[in-house]
Amino acid sequence: AQTVTQSQPEMSVQEAETVTLSCTYDTSENNYYLFWYKQPPSRQMILVIRQEAYKQQNATENRFSVNFQKAAKSFSLKISDSQLGDTAMYFCAFMTLTGNQFYFGTGTSLTVIP
């Protein structure tokens, strides 16, 4: 069975600072994809960043980057220069290549403080 764990239900960060959200997962698969999704208050869930497990290089998207540790089954999200618009619920998700299902963590609620 695949599981995704986000151990930080809530976090806060000062505007312009850097914050890291944690995610661990469990799988016996070797090939899979990992994702971070963002759900702003009362708004649609959108993809922040994706990582292919076969790629050793960590993915980056502007101020968002990941630290992917395959052996440790860890996939953390780093947000640099935090902005007020980053306030949202963040979900870590996992998908194997053998199926079309996603497995989501329970989410981390991030608040950026002005």
Partner 1 sequence: DVKVTQSSRYLVKRTGEKVFLECVQDMDHENMFWYRQDPGLGLRLIYFSYDVKMKEKGDIPEGYSVSREKKERFSLILESASTNQTSMYLCASSFPGGAHYEQYFGPGTRLTVT
**In the structure encoding, which two tokens stand for residue 66, read together?**
């990941």
User: Tokens 């953390």 — which residue?
Assistant: 76
- Strand-pair partners of 95: 33, 102
For residues 12 and 14, which CB has a smaller minimum distance to partner 1 in the complex?
12
Residues 37-66 that bind partner 1 (CB under 8 A): 37, 43-47, 50
Classify each residue of 34-62 as buried b or exposed e, where b means 16 or more C-beta atoms within 10 Å of its C-beta.
Answer: bbbbbeeeeeeeeebbebebeeeeebeee
- What's the min distance (Å) between Cβ of 13 and partner 1? 21
For residues 28 and 44, which CB has a smaller minimum distance to partner 1 in the complex?
44
Q: Given the rule CB under 8 A, which residues bind partner 1? A: 6, 9, 33, 35, 37, 43-47, 50, 91, 93, 95, 100-102, 104-107
